[in-house]
Structure 1
Amino acid sequence: MPPTPLDQFRAAVLADPPAQAHLAEPQDPAIFEARALAWAAARGLSLAAADLIEGGRPDPVGMHRFLPAPVTRHDWPCRDWLPISFPAAPEPAVQWFNFAGISPNTPFFEDAVREAAGRPFNRLFRTATPLASFLGRTDLRAPSGFIFHMSRCGSTLVSQMLGAAPGHVSISEAPPLDAMIQHRFPDPEMHADALRGLVHAYGRGAEHLFVKLDSWHTRALPLLRRAFPETPWIFLYRDPVEVLVSQLRLRGVQTVPGVVPLEWFGLTAEDAHLPERAFIARILERTCGAVTEHGTDKGLLINYAQLPEALFDQILPHFGIVPDAAARDSMAMVAGRHSKAPAARFQADGEAKQREADAELRAIAAQYLAPVFNALEARRTAA
């Protein structure tokens, strides 16, 4: 079939990075349509408003990004594009959005993805790149640091502080990274190779890239160290009672049986029938236990109680970062805000969580989590 006017328009735009930036910025479908029609007309392309209708359809939660990508290319798009998903079917591929001025340094990367999903440009130009294009690359830079964590222990604060300095990109719990980590590859080296490509795609143009992983990715420490043997990393943890209280207030997905496969944690189907509190504690124990099991080469242990001062005293030196005064001020400003709701002031909640814990919860913390917490504390203080 001959190319349609929309096909011709897409091909012309994808060959012109400045045009992508110009067209990807508008959130209003009417503004996007006006820009697209004017740009096409100036180049003799017979584009009509009807050709752009898909870009303006209501889609408040961005469901279009879960459909097959309208564009496939075997090379990478320019660096304004970032990976937003890694679907395994029908063939493994990385999908991209153009972020056009949208900062990826949000409390969670998914926040930035949702904003980008609302842009009409991304409705029409979401691009898929086959997995093969992420293998065997020789132009890759490793990130400046990885952030592993127990969950609910200050990792979002650390990620936000690191991302506050000019030239820093801090990617927090990116869904494509989780999907690729959990994907079954034919061999470990191919898995590591793919991860190197994906992580590099987030840091193109950045002076420093930091990657905050999902809490359950401690279970992938051997894989990530294979992929990035020289990258320093930290593991954040907190008083188990306080983390349990936080999880009971609002369950993390990893503490809901069946969301993250039980075998990922080395658990069995029988473990899913544990009482709620015990199951959460078991997941947290396996999360922390992976750090003590696999060792802390290139790693630094940080107790939540050491934050935010530890960012300047320990984490930045560990990551090899020497910030200037302006960068330090930018990071320090973040420390006074709530990491997951930056418009709100931070308020310490450790004492409130301790008061909220009943005797049963304390007994569960002692049974499941005290041994691994004490082991982490012993290693930290010894270091």
Structure 2
Amino acid sequence: MDAIARLDGWLPGRIFWNDDDVEASIVEWIHSDETGFPDAFLDDTFARLTRRPANVLFRRRTTLAQLEAWAQHSPGIRPTGLIFHVSRCGSTLLAHLLGRLDGALVLSEPGPVDSLIRAGDRLGRDRQIRLLRAVVSALGQARAPGQTRLFIKLDAWNTLQHALIREAFPETPRVFLYRDPVEVLVSALRQRGVHTAPGLLPGRLFGIDDEPDPDAWAARVLGAILSGGQEAAEAAPTLLLNYADLPGAAWTGVAGHFGLTLTKDEVARLTLASGRNPKRGDQPFESDAAAKRDAAPEAVRALAERWMRPAYDALEALRRA
């Protein structure tokens, strides 16, 4: 147990899978003395921390079993809320606002969590769920006095594993954030993420066997994620949130859904923070919805209508109901 205790202050940064012997897989840990995760994405925090001299010289490595043991020895903050999203829809802004609440810790698209969510081919279901809880526990250790709220913004494609995540965290409220299909697709094609660039994630994850057109690939992936959000909402209570309702919905609908009662000071703080763009160094936030719709070529509009609009309309019907 002494070896486990020395993981105080360490974060599981990456899992190196051993496909010959999954239990020989390695968890690499990164040390941090910071009280939170201020960057827009947790992997950005990891990248910054790994450049510190101490982290260059010293790394901790454990087995998956030791990760589980650490979670049992030192349980982290119980998750307060989960954010599912289609991407390019205000999810980073929402996570940024939740991070301004008293006692809040936000895990924004944590790589080790995604690694475990997509490890179903390597692990049995029960083992996968235990390890998923363990890595969230390790990342969600209280880093400052009074930290009692833990929010997790998942990667967009994790929406397709909503059943697994619900099984791992059955009592944690969840939201699904989405946006007008044309606006999402225009943004995705301007700056492709891992999921909208063909070949970086397996097509089977999105039900795609073959798609030679990279723009159609992106539309089909985003449409699959929208459909995943619809399925999640039909399977279990899920707050459906349209980008058009941000930022105000953060301190009204989302806070209430997550069981939070906010103080006047917190609401004022979130209102002030909502005017800044967390992806652009907190520069003033300006809505670009109209500009994206106006800039969309007819071919992009056609792809959005074919592959994304049906699921979007179904989500809107569910939300209004």
TM-score in terms of structure 2 length: 0.90
2:139 is matched with which residue? 202
The verdict on how the C-alpha distance between 1:283 and 1:188 changes in structure 2, with shifts beyond 3 A counting, is same
Matches within 5 A, 1:17-96: 75=4, 77-89=6-18, 91-96=24-29
1:277, distance to aligned residue in structure 2 (A): 2.0
The verdict on how the C-alpha distance between 1:276 and 1:342 changes in structure 2, with shifts beyond 3 A counting, is same
For 2:52 and 2:35, locate their aligned partners in 1 and report how far apart those are by CA, in whole Å. Answer: 11
Matched, 1:253 2:190: no
Larger Rg: 1
Asked if structure 2 preserves the Cα contact closer than 8 Å seen for 1:82 and 1:96, the reply is: yes
1:252, distance to aligned residue in structure 2 (A): 1.1
- Structure 2 gaps of 5+ residues are none
RMSD of aligned residue pairs (Cα, Å): 1.8
Instruction: Give the SS at the match of 1:101.
Output: coil
- Structure 1 gaps of 5+ residues are 1-14, 16-72
Instruction: Give the SS at the match of 1:263.
Output: helix
1:173 is matched with which residue? 109
1:352, distance to aligned residue in structure 2 (A): 0.6
1:141, distance to aligned residue in structure 2 (A): 4.7
For 2:76 and 2:32, locate their aligned partners in 1 and report how far apart those are by CA, in whole Å. Answer: 21
Question: Per-residue displacement from partner, 1:141-185 (whole Å, max 9, x unpaired)?
Answer: 530011110010000000010111231001111111111111234
1:123 is matched with which residue? 56
Highest RCO, 1 vs 2 (Cα 8 Å, sep ≥ 6): 2
Percent identical pairs in the alignment equals 37
Residue type of the alignment partner of 2:278: S
Asked if structure 2 preserves the Cα contact closer than 8 Å seen for 1:103 and 1:112, the reply is: no
1:103, distance to aligned residue in structure 2 (A): 3.1
Matched, 1:108 2:58: no
Question: Per-residue displacement from partner, 1:62-86 (whole Å, max 9, x unpaired)?
Answer: xxxxxxxxxxx5x254442222111
Matches within 5 A, 1:172-251: 172-183=108-119, 184-205=121-142, 206-251=147-192
1:360 is matched with which residue? 299
1:99 to 21, 32, 43: 32
1:292 is matched with which residue? 230
Question: Per-residue displacement from partner, 1:293-344 (whole Å, max 9, x unpaired)?
Answer: 3435131100000000111110011111112233223322221101212331
Residue type of the alignment partner of 1:276: P
For 2:135 and 2:218, locate their aligned partners in 1 and report how far apart those are by CA, in whole Å. Answer: 31
Instruction: Give the SS at the match of 1:283.
Output: helix
Q: How many residues align?
A: 307
Question: Per-residue displacement from partner, 1:188-224 (whole Å, max 9, x unpaired)?
Answer: 1110110001111122123101011110001111110
1:124, distance to aligned residue in structure 2 (A): 2.3
For 1:250 and 1:140, locate their aligned partners in 2 and report how far apart those are by CA, in whole Å. Answer: 35
1:319 is matched with which residue? 258
The verdict on how the C-alpha distance between 1:325 and 1:242 changes in structure 2, with shifts beyond 3 A counting, is same
For 1:242 and 1:264, locate their aligned partners in 2 and report how far apart those are by CA, in whole Å. Answer: 23
Asked if structure 2 preserves the Cα contact closer than 8 Å seen for 1:142 and 1:196, the reply is: no
The verdict on how the C-alpha distance between 1:176 and 1:186 changes in structure 2, with shifts beyond 3 A counting, is closer
1:44 is matched with which residue? none
Residue type of the alignment partner of 1:132: A
The verdict on how the C-alpha distance between 1:118 and 1:266 changes in structure 2, with shifts beyond 3 A counting, is same
For 2:320 and 2:12, locate their aligned partners in 1 and report how far apart those are by CA, in whole Å. Answer: 39
TM-score in terms of structure 1 length: 0.76
1:277 to 208, 215, 234: 215
For 2:181 and 2:300, locate their aligned partners in 1 and report how far apart those are by CA, in whole Å. Answer: 10
Residue type of the alignment partner of 2:13: I
Q: Which runs of 4+ in 1 moved over 6 A?
A: none
Residue type of the alignment partner of 1:235: F
Matches within 5 A, 1:370-381: 370-381=309-320
Instruction: Give the SS at the match of 2:200.
Output: coil
